[in-house]
Structure 1
């Protein structure tokens, strides 16, 4: 694609950065507000799990709706729900209300991510998918870089007033979510270019065939596509690790006497390392291949997560989080590409929604399990659990499809176009003059 044709991706990255910054500010602020309201480790784990509870049931219906229609309205709904969830979490006076509004925030984040991922999948040529998904996830990392630092500074603003300062951080995060609305224009493809007409023509023929034939693609068929289950499970493990880091590093900080501001900086170091990883993702894939890169990153990430449970000094924790951020930065974009390439073409948004369902299942189960483990074995135990989860994901990484395992090709060479030509469906006779 020419550089000018990728302005939609820049706008999407900026919008995603603001929405993710709002969530990344709110998640640790929710943990601190829960502690101020008298929560223990188990309650913090339950509240962190409720964040993913509503999305667990909503992901597939939203994905199917996105397969049939436009994506930008879903992004707008998502940004609105994030703002409402963040703002009302700041006014919650009980743990139950805090958990409920945290769930609304999680539903908004799900809506935004499904819509955004579907835009990238629709507007990216196959050879550009790794690059575009990698750049798209930079938006998430930018938000994760800024959000925790801002939350840490706001929560640390006044000694002995964690309840008030955590509420302030949540209200500010609602304002940050509102900024993402400014970047939601012109994200859908314009109606005139040939590439867009061709893609819409294929999509329309596919929809007509589904209506005339077997109807919508079943979830079972999508999950039986080789590569989809492994992509979902790897993504679940990687996101669970990121989520528990965000929710439980404040608990580690309270236990070890590390200030909220320092915890915010540590979380941002992890996000900065993920950005660096995604900037060099394409050369890494071309050198070692997708499967090797995914497997090694999960293996090293598991060992580093287990290391966080050790009583290391702050500088050692910072080094481990930088290395861990680089490793975890690989998993999300590559799991997106794995699922998109393996799924039936007419059900890619649904397949991405299934991936997000797996993510939310991990976000429900992992924090709740981490809370139970922490209550029994101490605050470092959840990170040992994460290490085991990521080591399991390393084993799943080798089950990617052969197509995903191969090194990524550079964008759109003439040889690739010629090689792909036989795969194009024949053009019906009545469409020939229009396409010429």
Structure 2
């Protein structure tokens, strides 16, 4: 049986990712509230949010190179330990500089976990299951983003904002540690052996970036993640200015995450109906308009509606950008291509919060959401121009060879892929 035939590993990976992401999603708003309690202004909150992505910015490509010709699984527990430590130590830090440092450690841990897990999904999924498995994998992230803000909102509040935010961060560290229980024997031996046997000349980074489809996937992912990140970091600031309680902010962020889960549960039918290019273009365009709408002084119920619709639209970009990048990249450089995608994400997470902090300091706390709208509008234009990229051609060439595998893996019936999502693979590497 090929590795993709038994998806028990995928369920355990989703569970682990749910706990790891819940910890991060709980810690990010808690860090913002603790920073505000320690005297930070909007600019300082933006800097601390940006440091979360600074260390990963330099580590992503080396980790991807290592994973291309090695095992994926060791990165997962390392990532969990760094996330747990970064959360807990942020809770006991008593200065903004220390909070920024431990926020960076938390971000490095998240990067290790994500590179390892995404590479694992790419290797251990059958070609026709790539879109579905990446979609299911990102449900783990969305579950964490649903639970984390609610938990943070329940713990943070009252007169002692410093103490309650510290408690939320320590609890987030404990939540992350639970992910370790789902990571035993998650990588198949045949997949690990194949990755070690496939060592060869490295594909240059410049060559990967020049591959058609890779830059588009990176930009779309950057825009979508920047939107999610700034929502998490700056909605508490908006709530402080508009008099919205932290518990309500937690519910609003969780509404966004719940809509993202709903989107990914129906991703396959949407792909069959619209195709990848149209779906990416439409959802990025709608997300741009919805982000700009958050800048308006709307009542809480309207803000909840905007965030729910926004969460549904943002749910499309991440899994489809993963598949787009993996499909376009050379077979022996897929982990590096995914790492470059994550580098783009982290670059956005450094630049976007810093820019948001400057804009918020000059034009008000709602202005960063207008900036996000512009970025998402640009990504929708890139998605339109990605029509006709080689993924459709590869899919047509692979359909005949993959039809029998798809029928076997899906209980005797092949899953049609008019969206161009089937991927050519090279010995599961």
TM-score, normalised via structure 2 length: 0.91
Please say if residues 359 and 368 of structure 2, whose CA atoms lie closer than 8 Å, have aligned partners that are also in contact: yes
- Other-structure match for 1:154: 155
- Other-structure match for 1:10: 11
Deviation at 1:399, TM superposition (A): 3.2
- Other-structure match for 2:176: 177
Q: Distance in 2 between matches of 1:121 and 1:161?
A: 46
Deviation at 1:72, TM superposition (A): 1.3
Deviation at 1:414, TM superposition (A): 2.4
Please say if residues 86 and 105 of structure 1, whose CA atoms lie closer than 8 Å, have aligned partners that are also in contact: yes
2:252 pairs with one of 255, 266, 275: 266
Q: Distance in 2 between matches of 1:154 and 1:405?
A: 48
Q: Count residues in correspondence.
A: 407
Q: Is 1:301 the counterpart of 2:291 in the alignment? A: no
Instruction: Please give the residue correspondences for 1:226-375 in structure 2 after superposition, counting only pairs within 5 Å.
Output: 226-375=212-361
Deviation at 1:398, TM superposition (A): 2.0
- Other-structure match for 1:413: 403
Q: Which runs of 4+ in 1 moved over 6 A?
A: 1-4, 406-411, 415-418, 423-426
Question: 5+ unaligned residues in a row in structure 1: which ranges?
Answer: 427-436
- Other-structure match for 1:111: 112
Question: 5+ unaligned residues in a row in structure 2: which ranges?
Answer: 408-413, 415-423
- In our comparison, the structure showing a higher alpha carbon Rg is 1
CA RMSD of aligned residues (A): 2.3
Residue 325 to residue 404, structure 1, CA distance change in 2 (3 Å): farther
Q: Distance in 2 between matches of 1:372 and 1:283?
A: 41
User: Which secondary structure state, in structure 1, belongs to the residue aligned with residue 184 of structure 2?
Assistant: coil
Instruction: Please give the residue correspondences for 1:58-137 in structure 2 after superposition, counting only pairs within 5 Å.
Output: 58-137=59-138
What are the superposed Cα offsets for residues 113-149 of structure 1, whole Å, 9 maximum, x if unpaired?
0000000000112211000000000000000000000
Please say if residues 290 and 404 of structure 1, whose CA atoms lie closer than 8 Å, have aligned partners that are also in contact: no
Please say if residues 304 and 320 of structure 1, whose CA atoms lie closer than 8 Å, have aligned partners that are also in contact: yes
User: Which secondary structure state, in structure 1, belongs to the residue aligned with residue 36 of structure 2?
Assistant: helix
What are the superposed Cα offsets for residues 32-77 of structure 1, whole Å, 9 maximum, x if unpaired?
0000000010000000000000000000000111112111111111
- Other-structure match for 2:210: 224
- Other-structure match for 1:433: none
Please say if residues 84 and 106 of structure 2, whose CA atoms lie closer than 8 Å, have aligned partners that are also in contact: yes
Residue 93 to residue 342, structure 1, CA distance change in 2 (3 Å): same
Please say if residues 227 and 399 of structure 1, whose CA atoms lie closer than 8 Å, have aligned partners that are also in contact: no
Q: Is 1:189 the counterpart of 2:188 in the alignment? A: yes
Q: Distance in 2 between matches of 1:425 and 1:279?
A: 28
Please say if residues 291 and 404 of structure 1, whose CA atoms lie closer than 8 Å, have aligned partners that are also in contact: no
What are the superposed Cα offsets for residues 192-247 of structure 1, whole Å, 9 maximum, x if unpaired?
xxxx5xx955x56642xx2xxxx211101110110000000110000000000000
Please say if residues 291 and 405 of structure 1, whose CA atoms lie closer than 8 Å, have aligned partners that are also in contact: no
Residue 350 to residue 255, structure 1, CA distance change in 2 (3 Å): same
Q: Distance in 1 between matches of 2:180 and 2:406?
A: 38
Instruction: Please give the residue correspondences for 1:379-418 in structure 2 after superposition, counting only pairs within 5 Å.
Output: 379-400=365-386, 402-404=389-391, 412-414=402-404
Residue 205 to residue 109, structure 1, CA distance change in 2 (3 Å): closer
Please say if residues 56 and 107 of structure 2, whose CA atoms lie closer than 8 Å, have aligned partners that are also in contact: yes
Deviation at 1:403, TM superposition (A): 4.5
